[in-house]
Amino acid sequence: MILYKTLLNCRGRLLDLSTPQVMGIINVTPDSFYDGGKLKTDAELLAAAGKMLEEGAAILDTGGMSSRPGSQEISESTELMRVIPAIESIHKNFPESIISVDTWRGKVAEEAVQAGASMVNDISGGRFDKNLLSVISKLKVPYVLMHMQGTPLTMQFNPVYNESGLDDGGVVKEVFDFLKEKILKLNELGMYDIIVDPGFGFGKTVEHNFGLLNHLDVFKIFGLPMLAGLSRKSMICNVLKVNPHNALNGTTAINAIALMKGAKLLRVHDVKEARETIQLIEKMKDY
């Protein structure tokens, strides 16, 4: 029997993931694939954050550097200039909210936590900044561990995985082995409040993504809450022949599958729809 970790300590606030929750995406970037440049003023930022919290977001994930396919790395100073004032403003106006910082840089993570963040969401799995994991271990905040092949600039240039015998293009075993190795390293650093994210869309073809989704329940063996970041991504758009602005219905369908496969956290642009999806899937458990 697998024992699942469901409570995470977010700097004194307990996040209960025994029931799936929603992470709302707050991008303070000009170039994110769906909502880049939408939040130009502090008033717009706070309106977006307030709406997400009202609709039931348990976490606000705030990022200052786009990780869309083909995106260029920005300077640390630019990332800090974008994300720290945003976190300070959200924390000041919504002091009870749980704020996650979407970064792979140790300095950004440290300053974000000082500004009011209480979770770090890292797309790199600790690969891009050798100081990040030691910084987070000292900060003692929950950590989202994600798999990505390559970098945002290169990750979609013909991603390839070794065949494993499953109908997944080999992606499941490679992601599993990566997460397993990293979880052991995190535990050695005294980090146990971990959320695992298989990294949909990060160095994966459409086929890889659907293979990963089909076998998502494999990752439950870690006994850790699992995040699914599927919102309006190309795996939906390419199949339905729509752009991200018309991918909400597809996102809802794919989120429902992820929940049935064991996801405990949905990272989304559209909180209300994700909360309703969770309510319906949870209702099924009554029968």
Give the C-alpha separation, 32 to 5, whole Å.
32
CB 196 within 8 A of CB 219: yes
Segment 152-158 long-range contacts (CB within 8 Å, at least 24 positions apart)? 152/66, 152/67, 152/68, 152/69, 152/70, 152/71, 152/73, 152/123, 152/202, 153/70, 153/71, 153/72, 153/73, 155/69, 155/202, 155/203, 156/69, 156/70, 156/203
Q: Which of 66, 105, 58, 108 lies closest to 83 in space, CA to CA?
A: 108
Strands (DSSP E) contained in the chain are: 7-10, 13-16, 21-27, 59-63, 98-102, 119-122, 143-146, 194-197, 227-228, 265-268
233 is catalytic: yes
Beta bridge partners of 268: 24
Give the C-alpha separation, 110 to 198, whole Å.
24
- Considering the candidates 105, 233, 264, 275, report the single residue annotated as catalytic: 233
What is the set of active-site residues? 233, 267
